[in-house]
């Protein structure tokens, strides 16, 4: 099958819509999966697709045991692709206009308790204070700042890695991040995170190499830190507290949002801090807090 139309759309996603590299890869892969399905089943070209073909495509994935979240994303990719192809005159009709996504069972994300978060951060700071070698201490202070910033601001790991020194306003306790869709927003920082950043920036020169540029966080090789390194740092930090769940950077984002709502923050404010395009995405955290209330009630009420 000629997949040139998919490649055109890939360029549109990347250049015209400013989609993230992850979204471009995922959506392009989804459309290539559809193209492969059309080849295997003899269903014709993309221009021949109708709603029945798309439904059979999803049904085949379901029968093969595909996760609902995968099927939902692929249905969304098909809707976006065919809408674009129709709107730009590349296809005469939009066969995906009536395509519904399978419902995804929303599970409560595991998260840290407030006390666990406090102990993780205290353990990191204590470890850093005990290190005597200058370079090793710089790396330890960097790790403290990374975890503090992730928990304080709720930024995504990609946003943290993309931070430049000019993005920080430690006097006001905020940082500027460029998130999904190339949208810029401000995120708050508490005093502990500001202190941790100040401590790290004072020794950053010990680790920063010629390729570091203005990156706030640098890796052990001197360049801008890689998300995989940040994930290792977070996993290692949480492992120091025996009863803490094994979470990555996104788990700290979950914890921050959950603790804000438990502390009385309103949903819209949390949505803005996290950079969610829709408040519906933020509402998962209300389920987390409700579940905790239900657990506390069941344990404490004599007639629960």
| Residue-range domain boundaries for the chain | 4-87, 115-247
- Report the greatest alpha carbon distance in the chain: 69
Measured CA to CA, the distance from residue 284 to residue 255 in angstroms comes to 12
Taking the whole predicted model, whether its pTM rises above 0.85 is answered as no
Nearest C-alpha neighbor of 248 from the set 234, 229, 263, 260: 234
Which long-range CB contacts under 8 A does 216-222 form with residues at least 24 apart? 216/163, 216/164, 216/165, 216/167, 216/168, 217/142, 217/145, 217/146, 217/160, 217/161, 217/163, 218/142, 220/139
**pLDDT of the chain along its 304 residues, tens only?**
578 888 999 988 888 777 778 889 999 999 999 999 999 988 888 888 999 999 999 999 988 888 888 898 999 999 999 999 999 999 889 999 989 877 655 555 678 889 999 999 999 999 999 999 999 999 999 999 999 999 999 899 999 999 999 999 877 888 888 877 677 888 888 899 999 999 999 999 999 999 999 999 999 899 999 999 999 999 999 999 988 898 889 889 888 888 888 888 877 888 888 887 776 667 666 665 666 556 655 776 565 4
Quickly name the fold that domain 115-247 has. hpI Integrase; Chain A (1.10.443)
Quickly name the fold that domain 4-87 has. DNA polymerase; domain 1 (1.10.150)
Residues with catalytic function: 156, 180, 250, 253, 276, 285
**Which pLDDT belongs to residue 293?**
56
Domains 4-87 and 115-247 share a fold: no
Give every CB contact of residue 164 below 8 A, 6+ residues apart in sequence: 213, 214, 215, 216
Give the chain as a DSSP string.
---HHHHHHHHIIIIIS---HHHHHHHHHHHHHHHHHHHHHT---GGG--HHHHHHHHHHHHHTT--HHHHHHHHHHHHHHHHHHHHTTSSSS-TTTTPPPPP-PPPPPP---HHHHHHHHHHHHHHHHH--SHHHHHHHHHHHHHHHHHHHH---HHHHHT-BGGGEETTTTEEEEE-GGG-EEEEE--HHHHHHHHHHHTTGGGT--TT-TTBSSB-TTSSBPPHHHHHHHHHHHHHTSTTS----HHHHHHHHHHHHHHTT--HHHHHHHHT-SSHHHHTHHHHHHHHHHHHHHHHH-TT-
What the block records as the tokens of 152 is 């304080």
């Amino acid at each position: 099958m000629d997949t040139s139309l998919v490649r055109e759309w890939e360029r549109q996603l990347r250049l015209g819509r400013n989609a993230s590299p992850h979204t471009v890869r995922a959506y392009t892969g989804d459309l290539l999966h559809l193209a492969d399905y059309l080849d295997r089943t003899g269903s014709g070209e993309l221009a021949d697709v109708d709603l029945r073909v798309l439904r059979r495509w999803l049904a085949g994935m379901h029968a093969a045991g595909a996760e609902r979240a995968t099927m939902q994303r692929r249905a969304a990719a098909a809707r976006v692709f065919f809408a674009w192809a129709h709107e730009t005159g590349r296809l005469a009709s939009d066969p995906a206009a009536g395509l519904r996504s399978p419902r995804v069972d929303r599970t409560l994300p595991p998260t840290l308790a407030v006390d666990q978060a406090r102990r993780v951060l205290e353990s990191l700071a204590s470890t850093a204070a005990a290190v005597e070698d200058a370079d090793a201490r710089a790396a330890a202070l960097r790790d403290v700042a990374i975890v503090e910033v992730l928990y304080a601001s709720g930024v995504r790991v990609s946003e943290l890695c993309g931070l430049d020194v000019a993005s920080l306003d430690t006097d006001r306790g905020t940082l500027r991040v460029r998130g999904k869709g190339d949208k810029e927003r401000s995120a708050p920082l508490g005093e502990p995170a500001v202190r941790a950043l100040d401590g790290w920036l004072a020794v950053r020169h010990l680790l920063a190499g010629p390729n570091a540029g203005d990156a706030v966080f640098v890796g052990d090789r001197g360049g801008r830190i890689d998300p995989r390194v940040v994930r290792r740092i977070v996993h290692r930090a949480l492992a120091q507290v025996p009863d803490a769940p094994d979470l990555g950077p996104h788990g700290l984002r979950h914890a921050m949002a959950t603790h804000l709502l438990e502390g009385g923050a309103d949903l819209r404010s949390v949505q803005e801090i996290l950079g969610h395009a829709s408040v519906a995405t933020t509402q998962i955290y209300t389920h987390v807090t409700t579940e905790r209330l239900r657990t506390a009630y069941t344990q404490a009420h004599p007639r629960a």
